[in-house]
Chains A and B, each alone.
Chain A
Amino acid sequence: MVSLIGSKIERKEDKKFLTGKGRYTADINLVNQTYAYFVRSPHARAKILNVNITKASKSPGVVKIFTGEEIASEKIGGLIAGWKIVSQDGKDMKVPNHPPLAKHAVNYVGDHVAIVIAETLEQAKNAAELVDVSYKIHKAVVNTADAMQSEAIYEGIDQNLCFDFILGDKRKTEDSFSSADKIVKLDLRNNRLIPNAMEPRACIGDYNSSSDELTLYTTSQNPHLSRLVLSAFGGIHPEHKFRVVAPDVGGGFGSKIYAYAEDAVAAWASKKIERPVKWVAERSESFLSDCHGRDHITHVELAIKNDGKIIGLKVDTIANIGAYASLFATVTPTYLYAPLILGLYDIPTAFINVKAVFTNTAPVDAYRGAGRPEATYLIERIVHKAANEIGMDQAEFRRKNFIKKFPHQQCLVHNIDSGDYVAHLDKALEISDYKNFENRKSESAKKGKLRGLGFSTYIEACGIAPSAVVMSIGCGVGLWESAEVRFNATGNVTVFSGAHSHGQGHDTTFAQIVGDRLGVPMESIDVVHGDTDKGPFGMGTYGSRSLAVGGSAIAKACDKIIEKGKKVAAHMLEGKPEDIDFKDGDFILKNSNKKKTIAEVAFACYLPGQFGEIKSPLPPGVEPGLKETSFYDPVNFSFPAGTHICEVEVDQNTGETQVVKYTAVDDFGTIINPMIVEGQVHGGIAQGIGQALYENGHYDESGQLITASYMDYTMPRADNFPQIKVDYTTTPATSNPLGSKGCGEAGAIASPPAVMNAVIDAIGADVSMPATAEKVWNAIKKNDYKKSAA
């Protein structure tokens, strides 16, 4: 039997998606359904003086209008930050209350003021225009850099400072810097990104007053977590009477991790009016109110010796977390960021300081890579600069500083279990034809183009996460994952996973694991996720965790099935359980030709007795049924790593940059489905190229989002990308039974510095992301001026 692990099996789920049969939240329509439209703040920062709904309430078709008053009087809880960060002075982080509907003040353009519920969407929108809100406008705090010097947005939160976080040994790091031969410095900005999942957010609250059951259909990456948050902190409905369904979801990239105000309000409102309440975001609402990503400014210094050895790293970052602290907003720029700044280098000392600031902008939270792209960007940019400054080849500088022995305890947090960084570097050098770059550069020059090459040798921490570790550093939940593997009497298998697929291809990958483990054909395996009423509590999908954590839970559950199956088969084959081998779906009695298929054993488990032809008694003490559950908690993070090499051509006359060659060699540990992994790598790189060259969430001084549509927010398109060459090296993870490390975020983590280093190599000058044509043109001009002046 050919192993299913490592096979390029076509995605089982694609047929429905490609034929338009996906069933998304917006496709669901319930009997007696109402339509909701949210009145949002047009101001970045204002006091709400009065909300007058008299006229709006009389508008045709209006069922009900709720404001922050009702939410407050019903004691509906605010949206929470799920990870407590402690500042360097030992004090807990400071977070403002985040009511689902604002009562006293609005704090960003798009903030929620009222929900208008009507018989039709048009009626809801018509009425929303009549909701009369009086605001007292205050000066908005917008910029990351000067937020701490601006007026405090919230009473009791001085300097708009959420926390002042440190990591590392300051004294040792200072010592390293004093013994350095050279100190390389860089100021960097990590641009704000707007996630832009293809499917906008949507939800339907559906309260059944007969059974007192509340169902929320929502575009969530983790329905159980949403239910927990809305139930335990929002007080919307008791968890055991609350069902959250995340049906087909069209992309999330982190932005659909969090329970949003709309989820809370639609669910609560359906209880109030005892009718289903449906809300579907328009694209402009997505721009304004989906959690954004990144938005850091950083000063970084690297201490090196003349031979190129890195001996110390110092980082000061200000992270903009927007108007409120969203669910993972506080962990993203701290534990998902600071430890990873060391990259895959053996750096003995480091000291990181991160100050998180509130501003009157949309909340910023995890977005594909979450902290790790920001970390990788800064270490890879400064490494590029350092190699240049001491005149060392980029590949050799990196090679010299790579961690080479595993396991390796880094000086900050992580203990890296496995890797072979030289292997992927060498492979990438070969595939990218690094040695002939100068020839390609001359060819480009003949066309009037400046060609540059950039490296990114990266590492990330995935498989999020060992619960004991994360809870000890402030996480409000454990980050294990659950699975249930259920044999049906007829021999097919239903797999329930707490992970959620919104483009990742779990239906296929997970079925491959089960098929491989249990010897059941792929077509007899169904993967179920996204419904709190179906499977066990699960933590969802983010942080490249589904396979390493969720897949491991599935594998563990399969192993339990085999264990029980051995007992049953032994009884059927008149042997002892320890004499039963399991291989390719068969239970075989050692030293005999007697065997039972797993389907036969499953059948026996469900029909445990003798009746006519059926002879399948269970051994004494063994319960009927064949269903096993596993809650898997990883013992460590997993550490995917790789080398990406990018080549760009820059038009000297216009500053336009085109990525012309891109090579990615990644080590994701054991790969289950290389085709799905390749797709993940492509998508991640596309997003990373988007960040490097095109995308930028831009607010003006008054806090208006200027890039609030595709007219101004540059989503990269197919013609912005070259053919991407993808390959792998493999060192299995030792921290989970599959040996998998995770692949979903790698492309978005690795690619921005690869692209930017290439641009900088091409033009010989620094430029910030996104490297738009005008910025690059200006940098070339300034550099020419410098050259002629020198």
Chain B
Amino acid sequence: MKSFNYKTATSTKEAIKLFSGRSAFLAGGMTLLPAIKLRLAAYSDLINIKKIKGLSGIRASSKSLKIGSAITHAAVASSKEVIKSIPSLALLADGIGDPQVRNRGTIGGSIANNDPAADYPAACLALNATIHTNKRKIPADKFFKGMFETDLKKGELIEAIEFEVPEKSSYTKFPNPASRYAIVGVYIAKLKKEIRVAVTGVESCVFRCKKIEKALTDNFSESSIDNINISSNGFNSDIHASAEYRAHIIKVMAKKAVSTC
């Protein structure tokens, strides 16, 4: 690890002020710190944003659930508001990493990092989320740009993620046995106006699977997924799973998600 300055901000404004070209915001640090330790990344300043009060609330209404960006996975998993309004989201949070990661890692950090196999990006897409930053509101459909790439500009800070409360929803994950990240994660949400199906772990970036969305819109049942042909074109292929296997597992996970919706 190369040494750096450690600063703590108590407001978004202060965090932005402290931010310079060679700094990074530090929330849970579950990805950032390993990257620094492995010398894959180096910063002059790390700005701790966990002390910013405005980033740590959970607010639920009948239509939406807004979660502060510095909320840990463990807090989401055990939040009464979350469990009541979007139980599948609480379950998703409960399945991220291990207890240590869940107690440190944050929802904002996960989304800003946009790991191709992370769970939260799938939730954002499926639950038609809006990403609130210090500058603007970004719809999830436009937020996730590519591998570890988002629409965030340098020095822009996520303040909250606002999810649409679905009629019903479910997230199923086929974990990598080593890392326990998703080899395939499928989030299905029946929203007021549409059905959304988000898939993570499969391509370089989370995506919506329009084929399954259409099939489920026609008939929201497990059997409607059977006849879909998922092409493995462009899917990740690695030592843990080939593209073809991932294509197969998408259907298995999607059916499981429908059955647990």
A and B from one complex: yes
Tell me the complex Cα distance, A715–B177, Å.
8
Given known A-B contacts A125-B39, A694-B177, A712 and B239 have beta carbons under 8 A apart: yes
Q: Are B178 and A713 in contact (CB under 8 A)?
A: yes
Tell me the complex Cα distance, A406–B200, Å.
60
Check: B249 CB closer than 8 A to any chain A CB: yes
Q: Are A714 and B174 in contact (CB under 8 A)?
A: no
Chain B: minimal CB distance from A75 (Å): 35
Tell me the complex Cα distance, A696–B174, Å.
20
Q: Are A777 and B1 in contact (CB under 8 A)?
A: no
Q: Are A710 and B1 in contact (CB under 8 A)?
A: no
Q: Are A122 and B241 in contact (CB under 8 A)?
A: no
Check: B23 CB closer than 8 A to any chain A CB: no
Check: B248 CB closer than 8 A to any chain A CB: yes
Chain B residues lying within 8 Å of A706, measured Cβ to Cβ, are 239
Chain A residues lying within 8 Å of B177, measured Cβ to Cβ, are 694, 714, 772-773
Chain A: minimal CB distance from B159 (Å): 30
Bitwise interface map of B from 15 to 41 toward A, beta carbon under 8 Å scored 1, else 0: 000000000000000000000001100
**B245 touches which of A122, A707, A774 (Cβ 8 Å):** A774
**A710 touches which of B2, B178, B242, B248 (Cβ 8 Å):** B178
Check: B179 CB closer than 8 A to any chain A CB: yes
Q: Are B252 and A711 in contact (CB under 8 A)?
A: no
A interface, over-half SS = loop
Check: A653 CB closer than 8 A to any chain B CB: yes
Select the residue from B1, B239, B242 with max chain A CB neighbours within 10 A.
B239
* A: contact size bracket: 20 to 34
Check: A126 CB closer than 8 A to any chain B CB: yes
Chain A: minimal CB distance from B169 (Å): 22
* B: contact size bracket: 10 to 19
Chain A residues lying within 8 Å of B174, measured Cβ to Cβ, are 654
Tell me the complex Cα distance, A777–B247, Å.
13
Q: Are A714 and B252 in contact (CB under 8 A)?
A: no
Chain B: minimal CB distance from A38 (Å): 15
Check: B62 CB closer than 8 A to any chain A CB: no
Check: B233 CB closer than 8 A to any chain A CB: no
Chain B: minimal CB distance from A602 (Å): 51
Q: Are A698 and B239 in contact (CB under 8 A)?
A: yes
Chain B residues lying within 8 Å of A284, measured Cβ to Cβ, are 38
Minimum CB distance partner of A651 in chain B: B252
**B252 touches which of A654, A698, A713 (Cβ 8 Å):** A654
Chain A residues lying within 8 Å of B38, measured Cβ to Cβ, are 284
Given known A-B contacts A122-B1, A694-B177, A710-B178, A774 and B242 have beta carbons under 8 A apart: yes
Bitwise interface map of A from 751 to 790 toward B, beta carbon under 8 Å scored 1, else 0: 0000000000000000000001110011000000000000
Chain A residues lying within 8 Å of B242, measured Cβ to Cβ, are 774
Bitwise interface map of B from 84 to 110 toward A, beta carbon under 8 Å scored 1, else 0: 000000000000000000000000000
Minimum CB distance partner of A711 in chain B: B179
Q: Are A122 and B2 in contact (CB under 8 A)?
A: yes
Chain B residues lying within 8 Å of A774, measured Cβ to Cβ, are 240-242, 245
Chain B residues lying within 8 Å of A777, measured Cβ to Cβ, are 245, 248
Bitwise interface map of B from 228 to 261 toward A, beta carbon under 8 Å scored 1, else 0: 0000000000011110010011001000000000
Tell me the complex Cα distance, A694–B175, Å.
13
Select the residue from A698, A714, A778 with max chain B CB neighbours within 10 A.
A714
Select the residue from B178, B240, B248, B249 with max chain A CB neighbours within 10 A.
B178
Q: Are A712 and B178 in contact (CB under 8 A)?
A: yes
Check: B61 CB closer than 8 A to any chain A CB: no
Check: B5 CB closer than 8 A to any chain A CB: no
Q: Are B249 and A654 in contact (CB under 8 A)?
A: yes
Chain B: minimal CB distance from A476 (Å): 38
Chain A residues lying within 8 Å of B178, measured Cβ to Cβ, are 694, 707, 710-715
Check: B227 CB closer than 8 A to any chain A CB: no
Minimum CB distance partner of B38 in chain A: A284
A residues 133-172 in Cβ contact with B at 8 Å: none
Chain A residues lying within 8 Å of B1, measured Cβ to Cβ, are 122
Chain B residues lying within 8 Å of A129, measured Cβ to Cβ, are 39
Chain A residues lying within 8 Å of B241, measured Cβ to Cβ, are 773-774
Chain B residues lying within 8 Å of A712, measured Cβ to Cβ, are 178-179, 239-240
Bitwise interface map of A from 682 to 707 toward B, beta carbon under 8 Å scored 1, else 0: 00000000000010101000000011
Bitwise interface map of A from 107 to 129 toward B, beta carbon under 8 Å scored 1, else 0: 00000000000000010011001
Chain B residues lying within 8 Å of A698, measured Cβ to Cβ, are 239
Chain A residues lying within 8 Å of B252, measured Cβ to Cβ, are 653-654
Tell me the complex Cα distance, A125–B36, Å.
13
A residues 708-759 in Cβ contact with B at 8 Å: 710-715
Bitwise interface map of A from 485 to 497 toward B, beta carbon under 8 Å scored 1, else 0: 0000000000000
Chain A: minimal CB distance from B153 (Å): 29
Minimum CB distance partner of B242 in chain A: A774
Tell me the complex Cα distance, A715–B181, Å.
14
Tell me the complex Cα distance, A97–B50, Å.
55
Tell me the complex Cα distance, A711–B1, Å.
20
Tell me the complex Cα distance, A777–B246, Å.
12
Tell me the complex Cα distance, A777–B174, Å.
14
**B239 touches which of A653, A707, A778 (Cβ 8 Å):** A707
Bitwise interface map of B from 172 to 214 toward A, beta carbon under 8 Å scored 1, else 0: 0010011101000000000000000000000000000000000
Minimum CB distance partner of B178 in chain A: A714
Q: Are A772 and B249 in contact (CB under 8 A)?
A: no
Chain A residues lying within 8 Å of B239, measured Cβ to Cβ, are 696, 698, 706-707, 712
Chain B: minimal CB distance from A198 (Å): 16
Given known A-B contacts A653-B252, A698-B239, A122 and B3 have beta carbons under 8 A apart: yes
A residues 650-700 in Cβ contact with B at 8 Å: 653-654, 694, 696, 698
Tell me the complex Cα distance, A774–B2, Å.
40
Given known A-B contacts A654-B252, A777-B248, A126 and B2 have beta carbons under 8 A apart: yes
Chain A residues lying within 8 Å of B249, measured Cβ to Cβ, are 654
Q: Which residues of B contact A (CB under 8 A)?
A: 1-3, 38-39, 174, 177-179, 181, 239-242, 245, 248-249, 252
19 contacts between A and B (CB under 8 A): A122-B2, A284-B38, A653-B252, A654-B174, A654-B252, A694-B177, A698-B239, A711-B178, A711-B179, A711-B181, A712-B179, A712-B239, A713-B178, A772-B240, A773-B241, A774-B245, A777-B245, A777-B248, A778-B245
Top-9 shortest CB links A-B:
A714-B178, A711-B179, A774-B245, A714-B177, A653-B252, A712-B178, A774-B241, A698-B239, A706-B239
Q: Which residues of A contact B (CB under 8 A)?
A: 122, 125-126, 129, 284, 653-654, 694, 696, 698, 706-707, 710-715, 772-774, 777-778
